[in-house]
């Protein structure tokens, strides 16, 4: 039975990173009843950008920790660089064979719909979409949430330039005592200064359609994605054959853990993140390696970058990608 607020926040942050639902036994007693969870990212991809605002709900069947969409909040994202404030529009779900969201694509100047399947009806609410905002490298952004008479605000997030991936290959990596395995490796130019990245790969033939900004990402349609969190503290300017999953991941898996050797293609994505977002993920990862024993510290509360104890992380990221057809492996 999980009874610690730190563990609850830890689980919530894993949901934000992976977009997939987890099964766990949790005691809600008292202190997450008024919590809210924020999900979503502003990227350098074409808008609009979708966000999900929820609150923990009752246990269903004793196993699943469910979420209710918050439909009556006011969410404002500001492009500080341009002085543009965008009050997000609530998107009411439409239930048919799947869940549909009807919205206006201001970039293409037309009405569109997005569909998601396999989600709970009550958690399908709480979806908001931008109405005029563009994610631009070098610009700074902030988030304000007004809900239940309270004001929650993020720190300022700057969209750092996208990582330039110069090469991608699938090659053998050494796991020490565990032998060798094939894994996707990238080469890239690491710019000067402190840099932080989210790296992920998809080991099948796949045509991507805004995975970082569409509702499908918020609700776990991309739950096969693998994320690793990386600081460039020990990297050189010219990085060669870096294993994509060599950063920290939530489960401590080794290089190549998610690579399907039978796949004919592999796609890699890199997202730049800020120091404050890296710190949030770093806290979460440390919690997963903490059991409170003699040689590990006791769990403690995870601090996000949104005031008032909001779970989640307001993130702006420049995304870059590279894909290859996998023929004979090196």
Amino acid 31: pLDDT: 41
Q: Please compute the mean of the pLDDT values over residues 65-90 and round it to a whole number.
A: 93
Inter-residue contact 146 to 303 (CB < 8 Å): no
Inter-residue contact 8 to 301 (CB < 8 Å): no
Amino acid 107: pLDDT: 96
Q: Mind giving me the DSSP string for 132-150?
A: S----TT-EEEEEEEETTE
Output the six-digit token pair for 138: 């070098």
State the chain's maximal CA–CA distance in angstroms.
60
Is pLDDT of 56 > 50? yes
Contacts for 235 with CB less than 8 Å, ≥ 6 apart: 190, 242
Half-sphere exposure in the Cβ direction for 311 (13 Å, CA): 28
Separation in Å, CA 91 to CA 100, 103, 119, 131: 10, 7, 16, 11
Reported as a single tens digit per residue, the pLDDT across 23-48 is 333 344 444 557 888 989 999 999 99
Please state, for a pLDDT cut of 70, what percent of the chain lies above it: 69
Q: Pick the residue with more confidence: 101 or 14? A: 101
Supply angle C-alpha 192, 201, 330, rounded to 5. Answer: 90
Domain ranges of the chain: 5-158+276-315, 164-274+316-325
DSSP secondary structure code for residue 103 in this structure: E
Q: Pick the residue with more confidence: 226 or 198? A: 198
Strands 127-129 and 319-325: unpaired
Amino acid 265: pLDDT: 79
Is pLDDT of 139 > 50? yes
Contacts for 119 with CB less than 8 Å, ≥ 6 apart: 99, 219, 220
Q: Pick the residue with more confidence: 13 or 196? A: 196
Confidence class for position 20, pLDDT limits 50, 70, 90: very low
Amino acid 220: pLDDT: 60
Reported as a single tens digit per residue, the pLDDT across 178-194 is 667 778 889 999 999 99
Q: What is the Rg, in whole angstroms, of the alpha carbon atoms belonging to the chain?
A: 20
Q: Pick the residue with more confidence: 260 or 4? A: 260
Q: Of 42, 105, 26, 121, whose CA–CA distance to 76 is shortest?
A: 42
Q: Which of 3-12, 193-202, 300-309 has the lowest mean pLDDT?
A: 3-12
Inter-residue contact 28 to 327 (CB < 8 Å): no
- Count of CB atoms situated within 10 Å of the CB of 27: 13
Q: Pick the residue with more confidence: 289 or 223? A: 289
As a 3-state breakdown, the chain gives helix, strand, coil percent values, each rounded to 5, of 15, 40, 45
Inter-residue contact 89 to 103 (CB < 8 Å): yes
Give me the chain's average pLDDT, please: 78
Is pLDDT of 4 > 80? no
Compute the distance between CA of residue 139 and CA of residue 159 in angstroms, rounded to an integer: 6
């Amino acid at each position: 039975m999980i009874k610690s607020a730190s563990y609850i926040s830890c689980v919530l942050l894993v949901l934000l990173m992976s977009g997939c639902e987890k099964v766990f036994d949790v005691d809600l007693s008292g202190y997450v009843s008024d919590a809210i969870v924020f999900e979503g990212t502003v990227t350098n991809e074409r808008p609009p950008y979708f966000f999900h605002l929820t609150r923990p709900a009752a246990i269903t069947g004793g196993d699943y920790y469910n979420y209710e969409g918050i439909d009556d909040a006011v969410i404002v994202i500001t492009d500080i660089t341009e002085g543009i404030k965008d009050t997000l529009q609530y998107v009411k779900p439409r239930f048919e064979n799947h869940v549909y969201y009807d919205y206006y694509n201001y970039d293409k100047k037309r009405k569109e719909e997005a569909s998601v399947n396999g989600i709970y009806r009550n958690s399908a609410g709480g979806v908001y979409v931008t109405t005029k905002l563009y994610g631009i490298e070098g610009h700074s952004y902030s988030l304000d949430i007004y809900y239940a008479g309270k004001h929650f605000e993020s720190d300022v997030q700057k969209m750092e330039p996208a990582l330039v991936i110069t090469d991608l290959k699938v090659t053998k990596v050494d796991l020490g005592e565990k032998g060798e395995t094939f894994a996707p490796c990238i080469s890239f130019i690491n710019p000067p200064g402190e840099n932080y990245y989210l790296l992920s790969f998809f080991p099948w033939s796949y045509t991507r359609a805004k995975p970082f900004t569409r509702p499908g990402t918020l609700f776990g349609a991309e739950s096969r994605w693998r994320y690793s969190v990386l600081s460039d503290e020990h990297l050189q300017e010219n990085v060669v054959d870096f294993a994509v999953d060599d950063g920290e991941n939530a489960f401590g898996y080794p290089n190549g853990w998610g690579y399907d050797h039978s796949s004919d293609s592999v796609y890699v994505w890199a997202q730049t993140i800020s120091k404050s977002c890296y710190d949030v993920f770093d806290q979460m990862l440390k919690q997963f390696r903490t059991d409170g024993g003699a040689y590990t510290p006791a769990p403690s509360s995870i601090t996000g970058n949104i005031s008032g104890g909001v779970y989640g992380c307001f993130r702006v990221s420049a995304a870059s990608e590279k894909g290859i057809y996998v023929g004979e492996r090196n």
